[in-house]
Amino acid sequence: MELTIDADGAALPASLTVPDGHSRGGLVVLHGAAAGQRSFFLYDHLARVLPAMGVAVLRYDRRPREEGDVPLAVQAADARAALLRLRREVGDVPTGLWGVSQGAWAALLTAATHPADVAFLVLVSACGISPARQMRFGTAEQLRRAGFGSADVAELLDVRLTDEGFLRGDVSRSVAQAAVDRVAGRAWFPLSYLRRTMPDQPGSWVDMDVDPAVFMAGVRCPTLLFYGETDDWMPVDESIAAWRRADTADGTPSPEICRLPGCGHLPGPDGNTTIDGISPQYTETMSRWLDSQLPHRHGQRRPDAE
């Protein structure tokens, strides 16, 4: 079913895939930074797999960027609008969020600020450090895996810190631009994810220093986490540690954490972009976990889910 999400100031094209008969639950899909279209293979996979077990899947196109990333607060507001629309379509059943990478941050923010609207979370590569720190980690790892040495990595990190200083308003534009100019001819520069030309003004990366641990501490719903063992964009152990520190004593269940051998930042081998390459462990674990969280078709939970 094709429909439109009426978000604040935007009409977001969407696709809703529903089960045959009554829905046990519903799930809204949130986007990775470089995968804002609802046709992305990971989102399509959800729409193919989950309706067969009674879960409706709502995918939508993320609103267009104006400059830099769409702020997380805007993404979270759009996610809530999508949840409300999904509930209109599937009725009074548990509805939750699935998010990957940047979408996991948006899902966390939505769940922390609107707990009554989010019954569960399924998060892939939910990074536990700030976006700025993640980009330092990830770009340094790109260089290492491409065979560049420690001196190249150190130079990259120095320029990234200067770039961050400008975006925070602590470093002048001329200093930041000169730093980029010095390294623009390096063989590693295409892997740096640095802009060749600085913005006219600082402040374009509004979420760069957001601490996701604050969102984690505010989550009050069951959560399933996936991390690839060979992730080259975020520190897996540090992110899991952030979740452990965020555990609360108010009765909220601790998240279930699944580490995926042989998988990278997405739930498949590094570089995979096809449904066939998605980890069977990821699919099976997600299906089992959702089955344990959702009521049966007749409104009863499984006996082993108590």
pLDDT(300) > 80: no
- Supply φ then ψ for residue 4, to 5 degrees: -130, 135
Mean pLDDT of 129-144: 97
Mean pLDDT of 37-41: 96
pLDDT(279) > 70: yes
Stated as kind and residue range, the H or E segment containing 25 is: strand 25-30
pLDDT band, very low/low/confident/very high, at 305 (cuts 50, 70, 90):
very low
pLDDT band, very low/low/confident/very high, at 252 (cuts 50, 70, 90):
confident
Q: What is the pLDDT of residue 248?
A: 59
The residue written with tokens 């001329």 in the block is 174
Q: What is the pLDDT of residue 247?
A: 67
Name the amino acid, one letter, at 197: T
Cα–Cα distance measured from residue 203 to residue 138, given in angstroms and rounded to the nearest whole number: 22
> Facing residues of 17 across strands?
57
Lowest average pLDDT, out of 73-82, 233-242, 244-253, goes to 244-253
**CA distances (Å), 184 to each of 70, 143, 167, 178, 297, in order?**
26, 15, 19, 10, 58
SS3 content of the chain, % helix, strand, coil (to 5): 45, 15, 40
Mean pLDDT of 50-69: 91
Interior angle at CA 92, CA 35 and CA 52, nearest 5: 55
Lowest average pLDDT, out of 129-143, 237-251, 267-281, goes to 237-251
Q: Which residue has the higher pLDDT, 280 or 298?
A: 280
Cα–Cα distance measured from residue 40 to residue 283, given in angstroms and rounded to the nearest whole number: 16
Q: What is the pLDDT of residue 304?
A: 42
Q: What is the pLDDT of residue 296?
A: 79
pLDDT in tens, 223-244: 999 999 999 999 999 999 999 8
HSE, side-chain direction, 13 A CA sphere, residue 179:
22
Beta strand 95-100 with 121-124: parallel, antiparallel or unpaired?
Answer: parallel
| Residues composing the chain | 306
DSSP-derived 3-state class of residue 242: helix
- For the chain, what is the mean pLDDT? 93
Axis crossing angle, helix 280-293 with helix 41-49, rounded to the nearest 10: 50
Structural contact between residues 234 and 132, judged by C-beta atoms closer than 8 angstroms: no
Q: What is the pLDDT of residue 249?
A: 55
**Pick from 82, 88, 80: nearest CA to 23:** 88
Mean pLDDT of 276-292: 97
Phi-psi region of 262 (alpha: psi -120 to 50; beta: other; left: phi over 0): left
Cα–Cα distance measured from residue 6 to residue 2, given in angstroms and rounded to the nearest whole number: 13
3-state SS string for 116-142: HHCCCEEEECCCCCCHHHHHHHHHHHH
pLDDT band, very low/low/confident/very high, at 301 (cuts 50, 70, 90):
very low
Q: For CA atoms 56, 59, 60, 66, give the dihedral sign.
A: positive
Q: Which two tokens stand for residue 257?
A: 């954490």
DSSP-derived 3-state class of residue 195: coil
CA dihedral 4, 48, 265, 288 (to 10 degrees): 120
Mean pLDDT of 243-256: 78
